[in-house]
Amino acid sequence: MPPSIFSPGLRSASVGATALIALLALEYIAVGAAMPTIAGALDGYHLYNMAFGATVAASVVGMVVGGWWSDRAGPRPVTVVGVLTFCAGLVLAGLAPTMEVFVLGRAVQGLGSGLTTVAVYVVIAQRVPDQRRPAVFSLLAAAWVVPGLAGPLLTGLVVEHLTWRWVFLGVAPLAALSLVVFWRALRATRSGEDSPYLRPSTIAWAVVAAVGVGVLNMSGESVDGLERVVGPLVLLLVAVASWRLLPAGTLWSARGLPSVIGVRAAMGGSFLAAEAYLPLMLRDEHGYSPAQAGAVLAVASVAWAFGSWLQGRLGEGVDRYRVMTLGVSVFTAMMVLLAVAVWLRWPGWAPILVYGVATLGVGLAYPTTTLLVMRLSTSSQIGRNSSALQVGESLNGAVALAVTGVVFGLLYATQPHAAFVGTLAVAAAVGAVAVVSVLRARPAR
């Protein structure tokens, strides 16, 4: 029987990976809570959206470069450079005298987090036996849940009693400490000299995708003027970049690895689009306070972690394709029911409960997609394919948010109820694509 994930040989990989992901998650969540204060202090409301869009865009480049680099040189240098880059971005943002410098710091953070996240998965692939990976992935899910529950409160206390700058400066030493915890696992990783070098064209397409994601994240909900022309062009650019960056056949659900990546992309885009509008719907239509409306995200985080814990407890002989199919089925059915619940004006607690069950399905399926990508990849392709898993999720998430933003912008002023129903219908439709992909995920025999 393989050793426990907390045994001396695996402890550095499991605990170090969890610590790094938790810090990346904490920073991602904390910034959202601190941004109103930061924008006011730096007189930077004109760059409010860019502070988020720059991070997401730069992370796409980091993911692509990190995947290829990890395959060629091993994950150790990628992790070190990624964490140090992330720390540099934290310091730059924390000391920023202007909003422009703050946005630059956020972009540097995104680049570092993209490099680090991909490299962490390569370390897990190299250092953790296949039978123990589901348990590690359940830890990584918990690494997102705890910051999701405690992050906004902690950020509020730091901003109120210290200064918003410590939201960034205080995390940098912790990230460096996590790298020390991770070091033993990093030293045991290996390079892959037989892996190809990163092609300049791939970097170019990564930049195109990053710019597209940045524009989509920074765009508002208006569809007037140039946005009627620019929006579709940007969506087309993102689609072409996806075709060039993801494994062949991903966009049309080719059997095997491409469809596994498609499952992750469809589910990711769906729940991101839903989460963007559910708290607002609860406030507007049910009179919930901000704290009460935020309960939908808290319930979702706990349900996600529970689903991930469940898949980690399954036996070694379980058919992981069936686990992924179950997760996708639960998620898709609940997303459709969620749109129906909002359409029929069910009580406010009903959408919260339905969305919680939906994210339970995400908890089952998400770690399973990562596990299957590792199983379907050769040792020289782990980095690139792990990168593709996350890049696909980021690109589809940006597209889904852009489409729901247009729907919301067209309807909200005159038909607010229809606007919420429309956004959730789009989210459900995006999620339904995962059903097509999951049916083709098992490789042909």
pLDDT tens track for 232-255: 788 888 889 899 999 999 999 999
pTM of the model: 0.88
Same topology for domains 1-198 and 202-445, yes or no?
Answer: yes
Per-domain residue ranges for the chain?
A: 1-198, 202-445
Quick one: average pLDDT of 165-180? 90
**38-76: pLDDT as tens digits:** 888 888 877 777 787 788 889 999 999 999 899 888 999
pLDDT at 347: 92
pLDDT at 444: 79
Class of the CATH-defined domain 1-198? mainly alpha
pLDDT at 119: 94
Quick one: average pLDDT of 124-139? 90
Looking at 1.20.1250.20, 3.40.640.10, 2.60.120.260, 1.10.10.10, the CATH number of the domain 202-445 comes to 1.20.1250.20
pLDDT at 355: 95
Q: Is the pLDDT of residue 122 over 90?
A: yes
**278-311: pLDDT as tens digits:** 888 888 899 888 767 777 778 888 899 899 999 9
Nearest to 369 by CA among 326, 337, 401, 334: 326
Percent of the chain with pLDDT over 90: 47
Q: Is the pLDDT of residue 225 over 80?
A: no
Which of 189-198, 256-265, 392-401 ranks highest by mean pLDDT? 256-265
pLDDT at 158: 78
pLDDT at 100: 92
Mean pLDDT of the chain: 87
Q: Is the pLDDT of residue 226 over 80?
A: no
Q: Is the pLDDT of residue 228 over 70?
A: no
Quick one: average pLDDT of 331-353? 94
Q: Which residues contact 222 (CB under 8 A, 6 or more apart)?
A: 409
Quick one: average pLDDT of 159-178? 87
Q: Is the pLDDT of residue 25 over 80?
A: yes
pLDDT at 392: 92
pLDDT at 1: 59
pLDDT at 219: 57
Q: Is the pLDDT of residue 334 over 80?
A: yes
pLDDT at 151: 66
